[in-house]
Chains A and B, each alone.
Chain A
Amino acid sequence: MNLKLWISFGAAALATSAAAQDSNDLVLDGNAFLTEIAAPSHMENVDTIYSGWRFRTSETQALQSDDFDNPGMIFVDQAIDLWAKVDGSEGKSCASCHENVEDFAGLRPTLPRVEEGELVTMENIINECRTERMGAEPWKWSKGNMTAMTALIGLQSRGMPVNVAIDGDAAPFWEKGKELYYTRVGQLDMACSSCHEDNYGTMIRADHLSQGQINGFPTYRLKNAKLNSSHGRFKGCMTNIRATPFKEGGEEFKALELYLASRGEGLVVETPSVRN
């Protein structure tokens, strides 16, 4: 019995090492993008962190390696129009108050962050400008106008290393996110860690399991031909294990977003990334 256990563990370990991330380099506009780095010290079970790009097929990788081929860029263009579009009772557009969207360079890697005791994401900030400053309706978390705008603003930080605060005010949110990451849920009874920490690098049917990093969000997915928010992805993963997902934009997913961002500390922003 013990021997049998040992054999099956050995076989599983072999499978893992046979199909790890690839060794391709992500180069965009002649700039090399760092896609692996030593894991931050708070991660106990992983030595090296990798961008999800490293686990995709070369065809999918190629789409992200050239902005002309990257379908996510179509939505970025739409956001440039949205940026200048007047909306709401105050008769303002984003451009009325923010001179250049380029001024948001450096913002993406620091989000989510704590403001006055609340954990705040890019979507929250944009909607606050819309409701409080423009007198406009908030955008829905994962709808096209919101993901387009988060892509446009995220793009300004492309190539900058993720660097979220996880201490001080942020600590309780981070702890909560960590707990969620390791909690098994659903009829299939799995945690995020079951797939993205314990088994990254292996094939799960036709999908090559990555570490579930979020440095490339919002992500253009070939599967649904649109930009996808990170919360949308969390929701999809929970549904796949037959778990009732938390609410997009809710406290749980915001905490999970902070925790996942911190697991990608040092990887660079790749927004908008391309995935299958």
Chain B
Amino acid sequence: MKRVLRAAAVAALAATSGFADGVEPKEVVFVDGAVEVSLTGVTGDSVSGRKIFANRKQGNCLACHANTDWSEQSFHGEVGPTMDGVADRWSEAELRAIVANSKMVFEGTIMPAFYIDAGYTRALEKFEGKSILSAQQVEDVVAYLTTLKEE
């Protein structure tokens, strides 16, 4: 029953935004460093999010962030803070904002904006006009990050 409702919600969203995968990048609403509403209308899949986190062709978050939950991988980056306990520091809505467009939260950051499809220059042709992650993938990563609690 719940599943059906969710599916209906996604369908409705897709219909209004005209974007099959959810809210379009330029329509994401940031308020005080947070994005309240799920980009797809539903909660993401944290198991998929965990994979995207380490996948070099997707999030590749591990390139910059250490994460004890990924201890089976030997190389963790140090460019950004560790992800251990990240859900204790940030709310889900804040995490969504950080992943979708980190620049709206950390001015001038090196962290890529994962859900923008314009505003960057000289992109390789195959990436031009595209976001690094899809709305679904952003939600999956956010769902995963919310599981990283220490307290």
Contact = CB atoms under 8 A, between A and B. Distances in A.
Contacts of B19: none
B121 A242 contact: no
Interface stretch (A60-68, A199-207, A268-276): A199-207
Given A12-B80, A202-B79, A204-B64, A7 B123 contact: no
A191 B56 CA distance: 20
Nearest to A185: B122
B81 A11 contact: yes
Interface-central residue, A12, A185, A190, A202, by most chain B CB under 10 Å = A12
Contacts of A242: 123-124, 127
A194 interface: yes
B77 A186 contact: no
Contacts of A198: 110
A184 interface: yes
Contacts of B80: 8, 12, 15
B51 to A, nearest CB: 16
A243 B110 CA distance: 15
Contacts of A185: 120-123
B78 A189 contact: no
Max count, chain B CB within 10 A of own CB: residue among A16, A19, A203, A209: A203
B90 A4 contact: yes
A204 B113 contact: no
Interface in A173-217: 183-190, 194-195, 198-199, 202-206, 209
B76 A203 contact: yes
A13 B135 CA distance: 31
Interface in B110-137: 110, 112-113, 119-125, 127-128, 130, 132
A18 interface: yes
Contacts of A184: 120-121
A235 B63 CA distance: 20
A16 B80 CA distance: 9
Contacts of A203: 75-79
Interface of B: 32-33, 56, 60, 62-64, 74-82, 89-90, 106, 110, 112-113, 119-125, 127-128, 130, 132
Given A185-B120, A189-B112, 6 more contacts: A8-B81, A189-B113, A189-B119, A190-B110, A198-B110, A205-B62
